[in-house]
């Protein structure tokens, strides 16, 4: 019984260490991945419409470590410093559990050592801001063990400006007007028919 309790506590502590309590710091990670992001539309993109192609590969000339512990690769859209200014809810924190830089998940995929790419249609809920792409390599415990990003360390080059969907498209507006007119007309027709049916019943009732 005591052994079991001890085991349980040990297990809980270990899980805590492995999953929740153990926060990797960004500054401790090596930049082992080569990442690029590009779009045929250039560097100003529309949410919900334009596409971003992200490519990543392990830097073969990186002198330390290997990719042997890499299990999963996570692609994130991250706020550039210009879009973090005066916005504490986007703040960069070295403890990755608390970091708010990379709030928008693009995709998570199993790691493969070859050159990889993923084409992402920017999701409609991405707010207007300036961004870069960061890729994290995670080990089997889901802990970050390496990263790469499509910008330099100071996050200045190759940034993307994403514009949120503002207002609706003209075609959408026309469609919704048509739809409203259609529903008003069909409601009118429905009431007319109902009324007529009622009258017919009345007449039948009288006769």
Stretch that binds ligand NAG, among 59-67, 77-85, 122-130, 152-160 (CB under 6 A): 59-67
Buried b / exposed e along 146-184 (16+ C-beta atoms within 10 A): bbbbbbeeebeebbbebbeeeeeeeeeeeeeeeeeeeee
Residue 90 — φ and ψ, nearest 5°?
Answer: -120, 15
Residue 144 and residue 89: Cα distance in Å, rounded?
Answer: 22
Q: How many residues bind ligand NAG (CB under 6 A)?
A: 9
Closest CA to 160 of 49, 46, 78, 43: 43
**Choice from 26, 62, 118, 120 touching ligand NAG (CB under 6 A):** 62
Residue 139 and residue 111: Cα distance in Å, rounded?
Answer: 10
* Residue 116 binds to ligand NAG (criterion: CB under 6 A): no
**Choice from 20, 61, 88, 154 touching ligand NAG (CB under 6 A):** 61
* Residue 207 binds to ligand NAG (criterion: CB under 6 A): no
Nearest approach, Cβ of 57 to ligand NAG (angstroms)? 5
* Residue 36 binds to ligand NAG (criterion: CB under 6 A): no
- Contact footprint for ligand NAG (CB under 6 A): 34, 57, 59, 61-63, 113-115
């Amino acid at each position: 019984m005591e052994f079991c309790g001890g085991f349980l506590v040990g297990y809980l502590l270990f899980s805590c260490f492995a999953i929740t309590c153990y926060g990797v710091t960004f500054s401790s990670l090596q930049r082992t991945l080569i990442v690029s992001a590009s779009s045929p539309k250039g560097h100003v993109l529309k949410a919900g419409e334009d596409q971003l192609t992200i490519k990543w590969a392990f830097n073969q000339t990186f002198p330390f470590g290997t990719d042997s512990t890499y299990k999963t690769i996570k692609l994130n859209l991250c706020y550039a410093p210009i879009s973090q200014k005066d916005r504490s809810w986007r703040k960069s924190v070295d403890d990755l559990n608390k970091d708010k830089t990379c709030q928008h998940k693009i995709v998570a995929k199993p790691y493969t050592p070859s050159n990889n790419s993923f084409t992402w249609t920017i999701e409609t809920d991405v707010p207007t801001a300036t961004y870069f792409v960061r890729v994290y390599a995670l080990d089997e415990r889901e802990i970050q063990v390496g990263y790469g990003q499509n910008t330099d360390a100071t996050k200045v080059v190759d940034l993307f400006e994403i514009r949120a969907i503002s207002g609706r498209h003209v075609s959408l507006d026309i469609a919704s007007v048509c739809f409203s007119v259609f529903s008003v007309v069909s409601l009118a027709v429905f009431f007319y028919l109902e009324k007529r049916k009622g009258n017919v019943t009345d007449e039948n009732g009288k006769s």
